[in-house]
Structure formats: C-alpha cells, structure tokens
Amino acid sequence: MEEFVFLDDIATADVAIESRGDTPEELFSASARATFEVMVDTGDVQPEIKKVIHLENSEIDGLLFDWLAEIIYLKDSEAMVFCKFEIKIMKDKDYCLDAEIYGEEINQSRHELRCDVKAITFHLFEVYEKDRKWIARFILDI
C-alpha cells in the first residue's frame, strides 16, 4: 500500500516528506504523488497526456532521486502537472525504471495551484527497506 505524510517538524522553509510502499514501485509512486500534492490538488488533474520515462542508476536511492528530479523537470519544461504514475523497476546490473506518467498542462482556472517545487535536495535524503516496507524521506526545495 503506497502512502505518504508531510513532516512539518523537519524543514521549515522547504517541504519534508516520508513516503512508503510495499514495493519499490509503490514507493516511487507515493513519492511522485506527494511531490505533486505539494504543487496542486491532484484530484483536479486529468490523466490526458502520457509521458514515458526511462532511468537507470546503480543504487535504488539514486534512482528515486533521479525519478523525482525528472518529474519536476517535466513539470517545469512542459508546464504540466501529473496525477497517475505506472512504474516498473527491475534490477540487473543497475536498477532500471520504466514509467508512464499521466497528467495535463497547467490550467490556472481549473487547477488549485499551491506552491512551486523547484528541486529535490540531498539534505536528509534516504531510502531503505524495513519490515518488508520501502520507506523514503526527502526534502523538496520550494
């Protein structure tokens, strides 16, 4: 079960998040949903446009960092917000992520825009598995 919480007592000027999932895919999806919930009410976002992402990294934490950086970049470069994340992660020599993400162009008259996320940070960034749950903590620069 994927889930996330905002950690109000960790970062005062930025947004700290803890996300969880039963699998790495659920963890990555929860992390992406949390990132976009900072920016917009994702319940108002329609999955009209599909984008395909492929990433590779030797470490699972590096892959999550790259994933969040990539979806933030897509938000900025294409003026889009996303609401649905279909992710597959495989481990061969490196971790490989293949994802289809769905969203739409930002529409200020329809979307309840919150604050803009500029980047994912390395500060207090961690990914680990505990009691068969995948957990990540990260801070978004706003």
Average pLDDT over residues 1-16: 70
Domain housing 53: 3-141
pLDDT of residue 11: 57
Give 86-102 pLDDT, tens digit per residue. Answer: 999 999 999 999 999 99
Percent residues over pLDDT 90 in the chain: 87
- pLDDT band for position 112 (cuts 50, 70, 90): confident
Distance, in Å, from the CA atom of 74 to the CA atom of 52, rounded to the nearest integer, reads: 11
Q: Could you tell me the CATH number of the domain that includes residue 72? A: 3.55.10.10
Tell me what pLDDT residue 1 has: 73
pLDDT tens per residue, range 39-72 = 999 999 999 999 999 999 999 999 999 999 999 9
Mean pLDDT of all residues in 62-85: 98
Number of domains in the chain: 1
Q: What is the pTM of this model?
A: 0.91
Half-sphere exposure of 98 (CA within 13 A, CB side): 3
Largest CA distance in the chain: 46
